[in-house]
Chains A and B, each alone.
Chain A
Amino acid sequence: MKHENNINISVTLWTLASKEVRRFMRIWVQTLVPPAVTMSLYFVIFGSLIGPNIKPEVTDGFAYVQYMIPGLIMMSVITNSYANVVSSFYSVKFQKSIEELLISPMPNWTILLGFIIGGVCRGVLVGIIVFCVSLFFYPDFEIANPLLTVIVLFLTSILFSLMGFINAVYADSFDDISVIPTFVLTPLIYLGGVFYSINMLPDFWRSVSQVNPMLYVVNTFREGMLGTSDVSITFSLSMIILFIISFSVLSLYLLKRGTGIRE
Chain B
Amino acid sequence: MTFALEIKDLKKVYAGGTEALKGISLNVKEGDFYALLGPNGAGKSSTIGIIGTLVTKTSGSVKIFDADIDNNVAIAKSMLGVVSQEINFSQFEKVLHIVTTQAGFYGIKKSIAEPKVEEMLKRLGLWDKRNDQARTLSGGYKRRLMIAKALIHDPKLLILDEPTAGVDIELRREMWSFLKEINENGTTIILTTHYLEEAEQLCRNIGIIDHGEIVADTSMKDLLSRLDVQGFVMDLDKPLDKEPTVEGFELKLEDSSTLVAAVNKDKSINSLFDELNKLGIKVKSMRNESNRLEELFIEMIKKK
Residues of A within 8 A of B (CB): 3, 5, 7-9, 11-12, 14-16, 19, 22, 26, 91-92, 95-107, 258, 262-263
- Distance in angstroms from B165 CB to nearest chain A CB is 16
Question: With A and B bound together, what is the CA distance between A92 and B105 in angstroms?
Answer: 15
For chain B, residues 81 to 121, give those with C-beta under 8 angstroms from any C-beta of chain A: 82, 84, 86-92, 97, 101-102, 104-109
| A19:B101 contact, CB within 8 angstroms | yes
A5 and B74 within 8 A (CB):
yes
Closest chain B CB from A16 CB (angstroms): 7
- Taking CB atoms, residues of chain A closer than 8 Å to B74 are 3, 5, 7, 105, 107
Closest beta carbon of chain A to B259's beta carbon, Å: 50
- Cα-based distance from A9 to B54 in the complex (angstroms): 21
Closest to B92 in A: A26
What residues of chain B lie closer than 8 Å to A105, measured between beta carbons?
73-75, 77-78, 106-107
Tier of interface size on chain B: 20 to 34
CA distance A238 to B143 in the complex (A): 51
Closest Cβ–Cβ distance, residue B211 to chain A (whole Å): 19
Task: Determine whether the beta carbon of B105 is less than 8 Å from that of A15.
Answer: yes
The reply to whether A96 and B49 form a contact with Cβ atoms under 8 Å apart is: no
Residues in chain A near residue B149, CB distance under 8 A: 100
For chain A, what secondary structure do more than half of its interface residues adopt (helix, strand, loop), or is it mixed? helix
Q: Which residues of A contact B109 (CB under 8 A)?
A: 8, 11
Q: List 18 A-B contacts (CB under 8 A).
A: A3-B107, A5-B74, A8-B109, A15-B101, A15-B104, A16-B105, A26-B92, A96-B88, A97-B88, A97-B89, A97-B90, A99-B82, A102-B53, A103-B52, A104-B102, A104-B106, A263-B54, A263-B56
B80 CB–A CB distance under 8 Å = yes
Q: Nearest chain A CB to B258's CB is how many angstroms away? A: 46
Given contacts A5-B75, A103-B82, A258-B56, list 5 more A-B pairs with CB under 8 A. A15-B105, A92-B90, A97-B89, A100-B88, A262-B56
B14 at the interface (CB under 8 A from A): yes
**In the complex with contacts A7-B106, A19-B101, A263-B73 CB distance below 8 A:** no
- Whole-angstrom CA separation of A98 from B104 in the bound complex: 15
CB-CB < 8 A to B89: which residues of A?
A: 95, 97, 100
Known A-B contacts A7-B107, A96-B88; A103 and B72 likewise in contact (beta carbons under 8 Å): no
Nearest A-chain residue to B67, judged by Cβ = A5
Query: With A95-B90, A103-B80, A263-B14 known to touch, is A11 a contact of B53 (CB < 8 Å)?
Result: no
Bound form: Cα–Cα A196–B53 in Å = 51
A99 to B105, CA, bound (A): 11
Contact among A14, A96, A99 with B104 in the assembled complex (CB-CB below 8 Å) = A14
Cα distance A95–B135 when bound, in Å? 12
Quick one: which of B8-40 are within 8 Å of A by CB?
Answer: 14-15
- A104-B52 Cα distance, complex, nearest whole Å: 9
In the bound complex, do residue B90 and residue A103 qualify as a contact, i.e. CB atoms below 8 Å apart? Answer: no
